[in-house]
Amino acid sequence: MHEVEATFTCTRCGTFGCEECVFSALLDREVCKACAATGLGEPIPWERRKELGNWNAYWRTVKLAMLQPKRFHRTPTTQASSFGAVAHGVLSSTIGLALSYVVNGLLLALSGGVMALVVPGEGATIGAFLGAYGCMFAGMSPLALLIGPPNALLSMVIAAACSHGFLAIFKRTKGGFEDTLRAVSYANAPYVWSFIPLVGMIGFFWMLTLETVGIRETHRCSTEWALGATLVYRGVLFGGVFLMYAAFFALALMAPTR
């Protein structure tokens, strides 16, 4: 406690504080250092890019978001806009996608080379085809730099809108849409490793876990509500797609034969 005039009220604990007590001084989103201590105790590395450097800040943020999501999302943001978090999410998805093209292409080319050496005759032809296809696939990696960012941005905005809408309907929000978008964006961190065989396969489920934790800590709701915000709309979408395909399949079976 400091014996000076209070200048803000912490939006988390309701405590009055002075300038020495404030961690995040964003208007109407002030948070005291005591509450911030339950998180990382310092601003998220990505919000300190000028101090740490872009590369260092990016990888430190990936590590913290993936391995310490609870503390990470309990850390108050010091930036009014969610643009930085969105940029981090887009970058993670795009890097992973581009490297996936390269790695998968090289693996195909390598498999083709091995087949051409080991299997004589037709194996050499198949190996040559796989090698050429692998090289072409790896050469398409620049395409990922074009399609990756808009796809990642669209998916994050849709995910944030659906998750925030779910919580808003049941009056469980403790923050704004940008706070939800920030949590969803940082949850994309595992996608940077999607180029690694097997690891990339679990990236989606890892992302869902991080998104659930991020929404729970951001809106200070229960895990059940956070799971609902993360999974319900996805279940509805997947169910709708499944029913659509089932309907087309049923119509095809019912079509008269000549």
Q: Where are the domains of the chain?
A: 1-37, 53-254
Q: Using N-to-C axis directions, what is the helix angle for 223-254 and 141-169, rounded to 10°?
A: 110
pLDDT band for position 257 (cuts 50, 70, 90): low
pLDDT tens per residue, range 175-202: 899 999 999 999 999 999 988 877 777 8
- Of 48-62, 69-83, 191-205, least confident by mean pLDDT is 191-205
User: For position 12, what pLDDT does the model report?
Assistant: 81
Pick from 49-58, 114-123, 152-161: least confident: 114-123
Q: Sorting pLDDT into bands at 50, 70 and 90, what band is 3? A: low
Nearest CA to 126 among 136, 114, 135, 137? 114
Question: What is residue 124's predicted lDDT score, i.e. its pLDDT?
Answer: 74
Indicate the pLDDT class of residue 70, thresholds 50, 70 and 90.
Answer: very high
Lowest mean pLDDT among 124-128, 140-144, 250-254: 124-128
pLDDT at 37 over 90: no
Q: What whole-number distance in Å separates Cα of residue 190 and Cα of residue 63? A: 9
Q: Which helix (H) or strand (E) holds 24?
A: strand 22-24
Residues 219 and 207: their CA atoms lie apart, in Å, by 18
Span 88-99, mean pLDDT? Answer: 95
Please give the pLDDT value at position 172.
94
**Exposure string for 133-172, b = 16+ CB within 10 A, e = fewer:** ebeebbeebeebeeebbeebbeebeebbebbbebbeeeeb
pTM of the model: 0.86
Strands 22-24 and 16-17: unpaired
The residue among 118 and 68 whose pLDDT is bigger is 68
Q: In the structure, what pLDDT confidence band is assigned to residue 258 with cuts at 50, 70 and 90? A: low
**Tokens for 61?**
């943020």
Token pair recorded at residue 166: 């779910």
The single-letter code of the amino acid at 104 is N
How far apart (Å, rounded) are the C-alpha atoms in residues 95 and 140?
Answer: 14
Residue pLDDT, tens place only, 209-222 = 999 999 999 999 99
